[in-house]
Amino acid sequence: MNYLIIILISFSYISAESITIYATQSASYRASGSGLSGCCTLNSIGYTNSNTLSASSCIWWSQYGQCERRTSYPIWSFNFIELPSNAIPVSAQFKAEATYDEWNDSYMAISSQIGEISTQMGSYLVSGGDWSIDGQVWTWWNTGLSINQVLPVSEVGLGIESGQLNIAVHEYLGTIINSGLNAPRLVIEYELLEYECSEMNEFECSDGGDCEWVEDIEYGDCSNYSNGSTCDANENCYWDLCYGGSYGSWSHCCRGGTYQIDNSYCMEIEDLECSEMNQLQCFQDSSCEWISDIEIASCGSLTGSDCELALGCDWECWSDPTGYIPGCTYSCTGGTYELNNSYCQEVSFLPGDANGDGSLNISDIVLIVDLILSSDYDQNSDINQDGMLNISDIIEIINNILT
């Protein structure tokens, strides 16, 4: 069993979610070898990711020098890659399905060690791990084969923090299905912790509807460091012996070339008033409209920097060709220029609101369909303000209603 399956289920009525996580690795911590120790002493890892895993206590027939059954503890390891980083566990369970065996005096232990399943991990789990429980009745003849053990949230939290949770079980004799949807699994119910935009990483920020990721990359050069301690403190640079420019002239310098410093961050998206928007922002907001206000003005009315900023005007020095007036006099030349006083304002009507009741609803759709069928046009009904009424307006109104 070398796969991971994640199932997400929403529980809107308790404002929580549940995730089912299958093991990424499994094995048996067992006795192997010859003689009594090879029968009853745990010393090896075997049956890695097999379709079934068995738990058993050893039976050694001393009078015959034979081992009837070796000691074994199944172990499973789970990771939490798919668990949201802001998830707060509320409850946790270990679930599995047994074959026709008795699990009526069962042992379980968990740990948060990381890495491959090993004899060291197995020994720690058999000795009690981070948490253990004994004498559990999981299955019995004719009472079903489902194994369900509630786990302490605090100990599961340690596994979430380390990135791995390991579980070992034991019984006098029992076998667990280790493949398919009935394979051993963790079922964790959790709630999501609300983050401020400033606390989010790039992935979380992109999923936050009210947040946006701001790229802020700064560039530096290792050669700007003048001493070894500051140079070596930057992982991109190193302090080295450098040629000084002439024979026998050597000194130390910081090598490594240029490097990047990522100062990017997540910030809350501002809700701008229409009057604060530029032209693009105004066009993207259906509640705002862009008012074009272009005025033609004379360059001669401008001075200095205002003249230089005006397209079509030049700040020039005029000198008397007769030489009668010494020096020169600056003035703004070029004729006329456009003075852009355009602005964004709140629309006086709600685009798509065909009946003028101040909201978008099914009544507006009915009226707009009638307008389309009769080839009539109404600006208030034109939600995308493209000068036409068609199916695009209907689709956009439906999307607005659904959201």
- Cα separation, 76 vs 126, whole angstroms: 13
**Are 175 and 74 found together in one domain?**
yes
Read off the pLDDT of each residue in 291-295 and give the average, rounded to a whole number.
88
Residue type for position 90? V
The CATH number given to whatever domain includes residue 126 is 2.60.120.1200
Residue where the block lists tokens 């992982």: 235
Overall number of domains in the chain: 4
User: What does pTM read for this prediction?
Assistant: 0.53
Which pLDDT value is given to residue 207? 74
**Are 62 and 47 found together in one domain?**
yes
Which pLDDT value is given to residue 323? 66
**Are 367 and 396 found together in one domain?**
yes
Does a structural domain hold residue 201? no
Query: For 184-205, what is each residue's pLDDT tens digit?
Result: 999 999 998 877 888 888 887 8
Which pLDDT value is given to residue 330? 83
Query: For 229-285, what is each residue's pLDDT tens digit?
Result: 999 999 899 999 887 666 656 788 999 989 888 899 998 888 888 988 888 888 888
Check whether 167 has a pLDDT greater than 60: yes
Does a structural domain hold residue 285? yes
**Are 98 and 18 found together in one domain?**
yes
Which pLDDT value is given to residue 140? 67
- Furthest CA-CA distance within the chain: 134
Check whether 27 has a pLDDT greater than 60: yes
- Domain extent, residue 370, equals 349-402
Q: How confident is the model at residue 7 (pLDDT cuts 50, 70, 90)?
A: very low
Both tokens of 38, joined, read 């090879």
Which pLDDT value is given to residue 6? 35
Read off the pLDDT of each residue in 76-97 and give the average, rounded to a whole number.
93
**Are 329 and 390 found together in one domain?**
no
Q: What spatial distance separates the first Cα and last Cα of the chain, rounded to whole Å?
A: 42
**Are 19 and 135 found together in one domain?**
yes
Given a contact cutoff of 8 angstroms between Cβ atoms, the answer to whether 231 and 225 are in contact is yes
Read off the pLDDT of each residue in 367-391 and give the average, rounded to a whole number.
87
